[in-house]
Amino acid sequence: QLQFVENGGGLVQRGGSLRLSCVGSEPIYSIKDIGWYRQAPGKERELVARISLRNVPQYSESVKGRFTISKDSPKKTIYLQMDSLTSDDAGAYYCNWVPASAPWGPGTRVTVSE
């Protein structure tokens, strides 16, 4: 069964940057759109960035201009470059198909300090 494993989270100061990565157990990124989801404490999980089969990215308004999604299909990996981080960006980040249909991975936690 396909599994995603996310990495790269951590503690960063406001205004700082992090690069998240997500590796799939199977090289099937050419089949569906894939995206990064964020779940802030006490809130529902939301899609913040997605990348299409043709490598066209889309972003939620809250991260547009600050986050960059990319993928390396041969490496079965997608990335999320996050710049100019604020406390609103804190939470657990997950990758999954869009719409999400695979089991959720462990996620990677991002904490932003003031």
- Percent of the chain past pLDDT 70, that is, above it, reads 96
Instruction: Say if residues 67 and 81 touch (Cβ distance below 8 Å).
Output: yes
Tens-place pLDDT, residues 45-98 = 999 999 998 899 999 999 999 999 999 877 789 999 999 999 999 999 999 999
- Percent of the chain past pLDDT 90, that is, above it, reads 77
How high is the pLDDT of residue 57? 97
